[in-house]
A = this chain, B = another copy of it.
């Protein structure tokens, strides 16, 4: 068998491209609210994931980027998706939103209607997927850690989580079901039915245990 120069060049080119592709880390953007904004702080869930990557010797394979802004609801993500996500050409986007859509109903009168929550969430998934981006969905973890469904927003959090679960299934996006996981954890670790202090500092934002808990769940979903 004779191997032409052309063939050799093609093989070399392929190897080069493969190696280039290998060299380029998978870019993952965490797209969310204040919980994600705090995720890039020391001890934050994104910071912890970076440390986990380093420990496993694969820190060059993933670029983890936080794109969280305090007070954001689903429509805020939609509004800033172009500037804060698409412009960065990520490979993966983890959508972690919903707490403020529910919470702000009671605290400001400016939550998001359930049907419109679904509409905007759908629009975000569609737009990202149309750019070839892999979308991972998260349910909103908690507003209060009581284990008997007596936190004020439990009903709505469960309802909006159902919407996210349904969309993640419909659009074939992996789901990180934080709400389910948080409740399961609290059922084991919150025997006195406390409002906060188990995985959160203030019923919503993550304490150190909470950040590690989220980091572990995210890691499993994001890193292969």
A-side residues, CB < 8 A to B, are 75-76, 78-79, 104-113, 116, 119-120, 123, 144, 148-156, 158-159, 162
A59 to chain B, nearest CB (A): 36
Contact of A154 among B104, B106, B109, B158 (CB under 8 A): B158
Q: Which residues of B contact A109 (CB under 8 A)?
A: 104-106, 109-111
Q: Which residues of B contact A144 (CB under 8 A)?
A: 155
Q: Do residues B108 and A110 form an inter-chain contact, with CB atoms below 8 A? A: no
Instruction: Report the nearest B residue to A76, measured CB to CB.
Output: B116
A218 to chain B, nearest CB (A): 25
Show 25 A/B contacts (Cβ-Cβ < 8 Å), sorted by A: A75-B78, A75-B116, A78-B78, A78-B79, A79-B120, A104-B113, A105-B106, A105-B110, A106-B106, A106-B108, A106-B109, A109-B110, A109-B111, A110-B110, A110-B116, A144-B155, A149-B149, A150-B155, A150-B159, A151-B155, A152-B155, A153-B155, A154-B154, A154-B155, A154-B158
Instruction: Report the nearest B residue to A73, measured CB to CB.
Output: B116
**What 6 pairs across the A-B complex have the smallest Cβ distances?**
A105-B109, A154-B155, A150-B158, A150-B159, A75-B75, A149-B149
A91 to chain B, nearest CB (A): 26
Q: Do residues A110 and B107 form an inter-chain contact, with CB atoms below 8 A? A: no
Q: How far, in angstroms, from A105 to B155 measured CA to CA in the complex?
A: 14
Instruction: Report the nearest B residue to A151, measured CB to CB.
Output: B155
Q: Which residues of B contact A79 (CB under 8 A)?
A: 75, 78, 119-120, 123
Q: How far, in angstroms, from A113 to B76 measured CA to CA in the complex?
A: 11
Q: Which residues of B contact A159 (CB under 8 A)?
A: 150-152
Q: How far, in angstroms, from A78 to B120 measured CA to CA in the complex?
A: 11
Q: How far, in angstroms, from A6 to B112 measured CA to CA in the complex?
A: 62
A113 to chain B, nearest CB (A): 5
Q: Do residues A113 and B120 form an inter-chain contact, with CB atoms below 8 A? A: no
Q: How far, in angstroms, from A49 to B204 measured CA to CA in the complex?
A: 45
